[in-house]
Chains A and B, each alone.
Chain A
Amino acid sequence: MRRVSVIGIGCTPFGKQNGIGIIDLALHACREAMDDAHLPGSRVEAFYLGNFVSETLVRQGSLAPIVAYRLGLGPIPCTRVEGACASSGIAFRHGVLLIASGLCDMVLVAGVEKMTSADTGIVTEALASAGDADSEMRLGLTFPGTFGIIMRRHMHQYGTTREQVAMVSVKNRSNGSTNPKAHFQEPVTIEEILESRLICDPLRLYDCTPISDGAAAAVLCAADLATEFTDRPIDVIGSGHATGPATLFEMADLTTFEASVAAGQQAYREAGLAPNDIDVAEVHDCFTIAEIAAIEDLGFVEKGEGGPAVADGLTALGGRLPTNPSGGLLSKGHPVGATGLAQIYEIVAQLRGEAINQVKDAEIGLAHNLGGTGAVSTVHILKRR
């Protein structure tokens, strides 16, 4: 297998982008990534685009070929990838595989979602379609409800406190307050979180991500060709992609996402690294409790110790393992199909030494993307040369 590098990144601001449609969002991120890589469209050999529910939210399908054609790419293979909230983590993974296999030298990958132009009820139902319609969603369960159940169980099983869970949002909203691309750029206090409206007990409004528009993209290149385009390529040294149950009742432990554990193990094994080798991480904090589960599932801390770890500052900027320095989904927003590549965008910026909340001397970074109620996860480990 050939080594693969990231040579260009792009990302739109996240939030309510009035008047900018889904195609234009994707074009903007792709163009920025290609310009960053100094890559002419004629060199792109394949295109993967992550997107979750564009048909429902903006009545537009065929996204990948439409975006590729508008970019002026050649008659190349273009594929839309759907894996709920992990759609563009999977798009990135497949771009890596295409180059690693030797089939292509240069692949463009992107992710996009346009959410704010649809009614909230339609958005809620579209998001719920990532759950299992036949069993849990027909009961009237929602995505926040799923994570409310997980949060209550985590608190019961490990003594995790409500304040510790809220600290995830305090940390990420603080990190995001300096990120000009973040949807929420105001910090929040523990009191504001604990007094915010109950959505699905014990989960409250400020435990949740906002509904946002956005797109992100990256240019992938065979590692031996990377310095032709950039003097600071970032190498993909580990890639994991795994499946887990799509329902709560099929989870053996309600606090563990088997897909995250398996994808993490694959990525660590390929990289020949352990969790404590990671300098900076972007993990899937679709809800506060999800970040606590993620840092446990990825082995940053033992299962059950995520709450105290966050409260003690382990994952804060300046902590032993800074997590979500971009502000995470909680601050940036969660345009579902774009999230996985927005995480890659931040990790590449960190490893180049040009991030807004720069982690000092970051050499190795990890990006963790989770789809549905744990049905799919991707984990990527990146390293600067």
Chain B
Amino acid sequence: MRMAAFEAFACDRCKCLAVRPLSRCRRCEASTVLSTNLSGRGTLTSFTTIRVPPTVFLGQEPYDIAVIDLDEGLRVTARLTVPEEREAMIGDPVIFHEMRPYGPVFRLV
């Protein structure tokens, strides 16, 4: 399995992390919010299996979407890949797998 760094954004002044690029930090309003690479390691905070998808994702269902707490303290929402023989549980370790056009994909470790 390949491992990829997970790109996020960090305020150069107060060091707080953000999922998205910002012209100003939401916490201290500094204008120096820079791209940073995170480990991509985290744990499962919660998740669901979408069985009735929006029209554009018809045919992909069922698929899992999860809220993940990364080890560096950032929370993200992402697609979750669960191997056939496994069942996801809150608290399970997960790792960033790849970036797709619709967003980040993590998988169970």
Contact = CB atoms under 8 A, between A and B. Distances in A.
B97 interface: no
Contacts of A197: 51
B47 A149 contact: yes
A144 interface: yes
Interface of A: 121, 124-125, 128, 134-142, 144-145, 148-150, 152-153, 156, 197-203, 247-250, 254
Interface string B23-41: 0000000000000000000
B75 A249 contact: yes
A149 B48 contact: yes
B79 A140 contact: yes
Interface in B58-109: 60, 63, 65-67, 75-79, 90, 102-103
Contacts, number: 91
Contacts of A250: 75
Most buried by B among A125, A137, A141, A153: A141
A140 B102 CA distance: 8
A123 to B, nearest CB: 11
Contact of B54 (A124, A152, A200, A247): A124
A248 B48 contact: no
Contact of B52 (A135, A200, A254): A200
A198 B50 CA distance: 9
Given A149-B67, A249-B77, A140 B57 contact: yes
A12 B46 CA distance: 39
Contacts of A125: 54-55
**Shortest beta-carbon contacts, A-B, top 3:** A148-B48, A153-B46, A140-B57
